[in-house]
């Protein structure tokens, strides 16, 4: 975490800043030319973060919903965003790379990405993925043991089972985060369907059984269906 700094010093306190009426002036779906500035990214963050915290407290009141959004300024870090939990404070942390900030084409795309990552925490995906990996390890290890495998082979089978369990859960979790992220972006005043066009910049994983992410087309469909149901 030492290489990661706050997006802007005020971002970690932005839960106290309510989104204003003009917080998302580019939520019309029109792509802006040029890369997004850090100032613009801060404005989008300030609009989305309190909504994500409100949804978190509404859906999972027992969780820590005080999000921290950080920026990884490492120029070599790829386009990426991910969610984790601070082991010392228990606060949910969303980390965006500088490359991602430069890659988004409009406010809607950044808002959707932030909403998607917040949704992973709200849906408790870290805990569930860990449980899925443990279950896969137990099943594969037990089967190997029943077949008379050696200790080393049982350990190897358990490792494969953990991978299978984790990957199978991961695809379902991504779709769930897409749906909930759509709601968060929408309630923050952004167009989630426009935001989901960010997928077009990502390699399409296709229908891989052990892929970490579902096909882009399926993700776009989930966003469109959710948006039609709750955002209009």
Write the pLDDT tens digit of every residue in 70-82.
999 888 888 899 8
Instruction: Give the rounded percent of residues in the chain with a pLDDT score beyond 90.
Output: 41
Beta bridge partners of 68: 93
Q: By the 8 A CB rule, do 137 and 158 touch?
A: yes
How large is the average pLDDT for residues 197-214?
65
**128 vs 25, residue with greater confidence:** 128
pLDDT of residue 193: 95
pLDDT at 122: 93
With a cut of 60, say whether residue 17 has pLDDT above it. Answer: no
Confidence of residue 106 (pLDDT cuts 50, 70, 90): very high
Q: What is the CA radius of gyration of the chain?
A: 19
Flag whether pLDDT at 112 surpasses 90: yes
48 has pLDDT over 90:
yes
Q: pTM of the entire structure?
A: 0.72
pLDDT of residue 44: 95
**pLDDT confidence of residue 4:** 37
Predicted pLDDT of residue 135:
64
Average pLDDT, stretch 26-48? Answer: 71
Tokens of 7: 């997006």
Q: For residue 114, is pLDDT > 50?
A: yes
Q: At residue 144, does pLDDT exceed 50?
A: yes
3-state secondary structure the chain: CCCEEECCHHHHHHHHCCCCCCCCCCCCCCCCCCCCCHHHHHHHHHHHHHHHHHHHHHHCCCCCCCCEEEEECCCCCCCCEEEEECCCCCCEEEEEEHHHHHHCCCHHHHHHHHHHHHHHHHCCHHHHHHHHHHHHHHHHHHHHHHCCCCHHHHHHHHHHHHHHHHHHHHHHHHHHHHHHHHHHHHHCCCCHHHHHHHHHHCCCCCCCCCCCCCCHHHHHHHHHHHHHHHCC
């Amino acid at each position: 975490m030492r290489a990661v700094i706050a997006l802007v010093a005020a971002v970690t306190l932005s839960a106290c800043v309510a989104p204003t009426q003009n917080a998302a002036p580019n939520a019309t779906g029109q792509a802006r030319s040029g890369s997004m500035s850090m100032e613009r990214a801060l404005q989008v963050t300030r609009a989305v973060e309190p909504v994500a915290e409100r949804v978190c407290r509404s859906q999972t009141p027992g969780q820590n919903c005080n999000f921290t959004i950080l920026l990884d300024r490492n120029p070599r870090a790829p386009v990426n965003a991910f969610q984790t939990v601070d082991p010392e404070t228990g606060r949910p942390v969303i980390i965006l790379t500088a490359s991602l900030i430069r890659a988004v084409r409009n406010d809607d795309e950044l808002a959707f990405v932030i909403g998607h990552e917040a949704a992973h925490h709200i849906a408790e995906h870290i805990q569930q993925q860990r449980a899925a990996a443990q279950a896969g390890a137990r099943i594969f290890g037990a089967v190997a043991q029943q077949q008379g495998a050696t200790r080393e082979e049982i350990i190897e089978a358990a490792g494969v089972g953990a991978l299978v369990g984790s990957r199978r859960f991961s695809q379902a979790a991504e779709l769930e985060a897409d749906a909930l992220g759509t709601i968060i972006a929408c309630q923050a005043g952004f167009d989630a369907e426009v935001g989901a066009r960010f997928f077009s910049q990502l390699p399409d994983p296709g229908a891989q059984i052990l892929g970490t992410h579902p096909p882009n087309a399926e993700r776009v469909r989930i966003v469109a269906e959710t948006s039609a149901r709750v955002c209009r």
